[in-house]
DNA sequence: GAGCTTTCGATACGAGTCGTAGCGTAATGG
DNA sequence: CCATTACGCTACGACTCGTATCGAAAGCTC
């Protein structure tokens, strides 16, 4: 899962086994370097020095910066969980907040996005990202969806192909929105934003300011009756279309 | 708008004016190099050679690779338009398809994402991206929203602060979803996907399989098989995560 | 323990890029 | 004509890359 999973079993190869401590030290050093230097100024020689290993050791396990950073960042997203919070809206809000918290960390920001950028020209890298980061997240979407259907919050899906497409769509919408909010808009995906996002996701824009209707029983938002929304401070809304 | 907007007026500075042709040649060469080499292997010396200018000329106008690529990519997104297609859904589908078409181009993919990744550690770069790429797109959201409210498709917004938040939210959802679909999932944001996305955006997940009004579900599962994959019944979900 | 296999640390190396400096020339304005 | 600025070209030190090489260490098999 980390660098190579081919060894580990003692009865596999005769020689000296690879140091597992070196793996964790290298990955931790990579995250540390990402925080301090960012992607572009991160050098493998520096990571090796931080980890206390030789540069050659690093190159024996990872073929380059891309793969190393992906593995280092993937460990961050392994923390994601989806506890049952009682309603679909609460489940979404919970996992989105977790995702946003991870994405707010500097090592995740620069590392993940740069790796994705590189993956547009490197199929093997894209596959590695998908297997170690994306697919586990998609599993959470499946889990939450199944729970919601069991609760009756979502209509059960009859066509399996349609269901697969829907899951992919939801995943792109959720992950994409949080990533865009955090990295491009560079504003925090805090509780208030997550509440608004969840409302749009579940009920759509058409009923944006209309109180919840068909499916939203008490699930509007787990912790609050947000109906009042604290907006005041009227700066300008639709003033100049072309900003700047 | 391109490299530097401080000159241009003949009565401003005495000496030889900068060649406007060089600007366009450099930006075009940058996009060409992005297509052939991608972000990581793109070198400023190579761009200068392609553009037929000296490397020093390039450094006089742009401080580095980041700024150059942002300007080169920004010209791509300048093509975005929002013609009135008669309904909010049609407007959304149209502009999203345009956005997806631009994002499908290799120079946009690797260039934009790498620049965004770098912008997490460079405030000036983030501001440049915002001013030249993000804000114009947000203007389209404002325009479409105003049209929809004029048509009565969306409730008119009373609180300006709330409206501004909603616009930001919509923008993050739309742009983020398309970017994630194109770059992370690495699948095309084609018409079928855009239809499904628009439906979720307007009506939410709760009414996912309820046939909406204007757009018939006839096209919902038309072309492209992709059948099988990802068991539906998966109540346990966690097991067969790796779909596709 | 002897012998084999593999990993590890350290160093050195050619290749490539970076960003800048220097110089002479070209183009514009006073 | 002269001042000023942009341009093309060359060259340079500094840095990183990825690899090769070497001796030493750590584990397995016998």
Structural domain includes residue A140: yes
Tell me how long chain A is: 244
Same domain, residue pair A82 and A27: no
Whether residue B240 is predicted with pLDDT greater than 70 in this model: the reply is no
Closest Cβ opposite residue A241 in set B143, B163, B185: B143
**Please, which pLDDT band fits residue B14 given cuts at 50, 70 and 90?**
confident
Residues B136 and B206 in one domain: yes
Are residues B194 and B82 part of one domain? yes
Cβ-defined contact of A142 to B210 (cutoff 8 Å): no
Residue B2 included in any domain: no
Interatomic separation, CA of residue B191 and C1' of nucleotide D5, rounded (Å): 52
Give the model's confidence band at B236: pLDDT under 50 very low, under 70 low, under 90 confident, else very high.
very low
Q: Residues B57, B92: one domain?
A: no
Structure tokens at A215: 């499916």
- The per-residue pLDDT for A220 is 38
Cα distances (Å, whole numbers) of residue A81 to A3, A22, A223: 24, 27, 19
Q: Are B201 and B173 in contact (CB under 8 A)?
A: yes
B85 and B27 inside one domain: no
Taking residues A214-233, report their average pLDDT.
38
A139-166 as b/e: b if 16+ CB within 10 A:
bbbbbbbbbbbebebbeebeebbbbbbb
Would the pLDDT of A38 be above 90? yes
pLDDT of amino acid A12:
62
In a domain, A241, yes or no: no
Q: How far, in Å, CA of B233 to CA of B244, rounded?
A: 16
pLDDT, position B12: 66
What is the spatial distance, in angstroms and rounded to an integer, between the CA atom of A11 and the C1' atom of C3? 18
Which of B180, B181, B187, B234 best tests the A interface by mutation, with the highest count of A CBs <10 A? B180
Minimal CA separation from B177 to chain A, in Å:
4
pLDDT tens per residue across span B99-140: 999 999 999 999 999 999 999 999 999 999 999 999 999 999
Q: Is the pLDDT of residue B1 over 90?
A: no
Domain count, chain B: 2
Phi, psi values for residue B84, rounded to 5°: -75, 115
Using CA coordinates, name the residue in chain B closest to A189: B169
A46 & A163 share domain: no
Does nucleic acid strand C have an atom less than 7 angstroms from the CB of B45? Answer: yes
pLDDT, position B27:
98
Residues in chain B: 244
Looking at the fold, whether B103 and B171 belong to one and the same domain comes out as: yes
Question: Does B199 lie in the same domain as B154?
Answer: yes
Residues A102 and A206 in one domain: yes
Give pLDDT tens digits for A133-161. Answer: 999 999 999 999 999 999 999 999 889 99
Compute the average pLDDT of residues A65-75: 97
State which of A5, A32, A61 marks the end of a domain.
Answer: A61
Instruction: Answer yes or no: do B135 and B85 share one domain.
Output: yes
In chain A, what percentage of residues exceed pLDDT 70?
80
Residues B128 and B91 reside in one and the same domain:
yes
Say if CB A171 and CB A141 are below 8 A apart.
yes
Q: Do residues B26 and B83 both lie within one domain?
A: no
* A40: CATH: 1.10.10.60
Question: Distance between CA atoms of B229 and B11, rounded to whole angstroms?
Answer: 67
Interchain pair A241, B200: CB under 8 A = no
Domain assignment of residue A196, yes or no:
yes
Residue A100 lies in a domain: yes
Residue B56: give the domain boundaries. 20-61
Q: Between A231 and A167, where is the model more confident?
A: A167
């Amino acid at each position: 899962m980390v660098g190579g999973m081919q060894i580990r079993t003692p009865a596999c190869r005769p020689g000296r086994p690879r140091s597992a401590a070196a793996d964790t030290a290298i990955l931790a050093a990579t995250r540390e370097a990402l925080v301090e230097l960012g992607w572009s100024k991160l050098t493998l020689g520096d990571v090796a020095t931080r980890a206390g290993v030789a540069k050659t050791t690093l190159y024996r396990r990872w073929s380059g910066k891309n793969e190393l950073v992906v593995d280092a960042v993937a460990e961050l997203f392994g923390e994601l969980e989806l506890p049952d919070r009682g309603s679909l809206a609460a489940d979404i809000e919970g996992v989105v907040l977790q995702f946003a918290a991870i994405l707010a960390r500097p090592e995740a920001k620069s590392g993940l996005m740069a790796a994705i950028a590189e993956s547009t020209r490197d199929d093997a890298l894209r596959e590695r990202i998908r297997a170690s980061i994306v697919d586990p997240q998609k599993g959470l979407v499946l889990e939450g969806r199944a729970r919601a259907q069991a609760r009756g919050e979502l209509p059960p899906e009859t066509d399996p192909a349609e269901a697969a497409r829907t899951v992919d769509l939801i995943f792109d919408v959720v992950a994409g929105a949080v990533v865009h909010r955090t990295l491009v808009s560079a504003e925090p995906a805090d509780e208030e934003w997550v509440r608004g996002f969840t409302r749009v996701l579940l009920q759509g824009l058409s009923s944006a300011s209309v109180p919840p209707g068909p499916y939203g029983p008490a699930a509007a938002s787990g912790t609050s009756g947000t109906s009042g929304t604290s907006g005041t401070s009227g700066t300008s809304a639709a003033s100049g279309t072309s900003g700047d």
